[in-house]
Amino acid sequence: MRRKAIASVFAVLLTLALAAPAQAQDPGRPWVLTGASSVPTRYWQGLTSDAADSNLFFIGVFRGLWRTTPGLHQNAGVSDVIPPAVAQAEGYNHIGDPTWNPGDGGRVILPMECFDPGTGENTCGKGAFGVANPTNLAFRYYVNLDPAEIPKAMWAETSPDGLLIWTSSGNDLLAYRSSDVSLANRGPNGPVIHPVRRLSGAVPPTGITGAVFREGRLLLAGESDGLYQVWSVNTRTGGRRLEIQRRMCGESEGLDAVPTLNGNLHWLIAPFDPGCELTFGPTSALLHFKRAPVHQIFQVVVTNTQVGTLPGQVRATVHATVGGQPLRDVRVSFAGGAARTGDNGFATVVTTLELPGRFKAFVRRDENYGLSNLVPVGMSQATKRLAAPRSGAG
């Protein structure tokens, strides 16, 4: 969901944001990239996971809803979850980064808008929260948001206590009561709902394409002019700090926090960015991040990988050293699997992968760690040369 700003305005905003110590404060422990799974291109707009971390839900390209296991095995999906009657009555044809919500016994909230992919125009000037059944992925109902307060719904994220659903309008973060997303307020005839909280100016300088709460803070992904950032926001005060910053080629989309594939935070990057070579193409990529200690002192090399047909087993041989000496009896993780090194510093990690990707071996002991380079697993050169599709952004 591209949010390109005028370059000069962006530069001023970014300079101001990074110059303010209270906003760009170093969180202490860095997020490190541990892998990038190559997921289907139809997983485009965003993702969320249920309360038990047992299911992931992806959106894309425009209005499909897909369910997978944490290991990315797809077990259900519908290519168009918005009913024709809703699209005809309201014009909604695009879903952004979704969220899990405890209401109705557990549901997937779908932020909806009207979007013309040819022009990028918002064609109706309003937005809604749709409600989908997580078991059969059926669309249940939707609730319109007051267009005087928000012209479209591009993302949604439920607060840790389940009481609020956060989104944004312009430079402000808005929160709606979860209880207002109800059958009593369902469209097209129900009343519009209104935000109960507004954090003015809390949207990061690179905008928002996706969000997730983690450890009480709202993490927000966005990108502008090749700069990709994740900020965390204190929703009590509106204060924010920079968590991740990278240079990539692709389209920033949704975020989720779930322990899987050697990561705890996952960032969806869609395969569209004219004028540059995709960093993780040719399909969509799910980037995996984890917190690491401050000190990166170990040397880690993946010396060999054995991969059959995926889904299937993967074996990776990893060598860990420190100062040229073998790193003994240390845990090595790679693509969701783990093993311990022997006296020679070598470990063989055996794991099972559903999809190909690029992965790093990660080693940690106490407050020190090491990372290998990204290693392709199950990716053919022919696949890498496939053309990228058009943007599904809204």
- CATH number, position 282: 2.120.10
**Which of 219, 283, 280, 289 is CA-nearest to residue 254?**
219
User: Taking 50 as the threshold, does the pLDDT of residue 248 lie above it?
Assistant: yes
Least confident of 8-17, 183-192, 253-262: 8-17
Residues 213 and 97 in one domain: yes
Q: What pLDDT does residue 119 have? A: 84
Q: Do 307 and 224 share a structural domain?
A: no
pLDDT over threshold 70, residue 16: no
Q: Are residues 319 and 216 in the same domain?
A: no
pLDDT of 20 reads 34
Last residue of a domain, one of 267, 291, 315: 291
Domain final position from 255, 273, 291: 291
**Three-state DSSP string of 89-122:** HHCCCEECECEEECHHHCEEEEEEECECCCCCCE
- For the chain, percent of residues with pLDDT exceeding 70: 89
In terms of domains, do 211 and 309 share one?
no
pLDDT at residue 28, as a whole number: 60
Mark whether 191 and 301 lie in a shared domain.
no
Average pLDDT, rounded, for the chain? 90
**268 and 326 inside one domain:** no
Banded pLDDT at 22 (limits 50, 70, 90): very low
Asked if 279 and 306 sit in the same domain, the reply is: no
Same domain, 186 and 263: yes
pTM of the model: 0.89
Is 308 domain-assigned?
yes
188 prior amide bond cis, ω within 30:
yes
Confidence check: pLDDT of 25 > 50: no
Residue type for position 311:
P
For residue 388, pLDDT beyond 50: no
164 in a domain, yes or no?
A: yes
Reported confidence tier of residue 380, pLDDT bands at 50, 70, 90 = confident
Position 1 in a domain: no
Is 190 found in the same domain as 150?
Answer: yes
pLDDT for 29 equals 78
pLDDT digits over 72-87, tens only?
999 999 999 999 999 9
Residue 70 belongs to some domain of the structure: yes
Residues 85, 111, single domain; the answer is yes
Kindly list the distances between the CA atom of residue 65 and the CA atoms of 137, 176, 318, in Å, as whole numbers in the listed order. 7, 23, 37
Quick: pLDDT tens for 149-187.
999 999 999 999 999 999 999 999 999 999 999 999 999
Quick check: is 2 in a domain?
no
Q: Which residue bears the tokens 């783990």?
A: 338
Question: In this predicted structure, what is the pLDDT of residue 120?
Answer: 83
CA pair distance 155, 50, nearest whole angstrom:
16
CATH value at residue 334: 2.60.40.10
User: Would the pLDDT of 17 be above 70?
Assistant: no
b vs e for 230-265, b when ≥16 Cβ sit within 10 Å of the residue's Cβ? bbbbebeebbbbbbbebebbbbbbbbbbbebbbbbb
H or E element in which residue 9 lies: helix 7-19
pLDDT digits (tens, 9 = 90+) for 36-63: 999 999 999 999 999 999 999 999 999 9
Is residue 367 within 8 A of residue 381, CB to CB? The reply is no
- pLDDT tens for 111-144 read 999 998 888 888 899 999 999 999 999 999 999 9
Number of domains in the chain: 2
Confidence class for position 7, pLDDT limits 50, 70, 90: very low
How far apart are the C-alpha atoms of 348 and 334, rounded to whole Å?
A: 10
Query: Domain range spanning residue 373?
Result: 295-384
Would you say residue 24 lies in a domain? yes
Residues 93 and 201 in one domain: yes
Residue whose structure tokens are 């090399």? 301
Cα separations in angstroms, 45 against 53, 116, 223, 380: 20, 15, 14, 25
| Structural domain ending residue among the three candidates 248, 267, 291 | 291
- The size of the chain, in residues, is 394
Structure tokens at 321: 């050293």
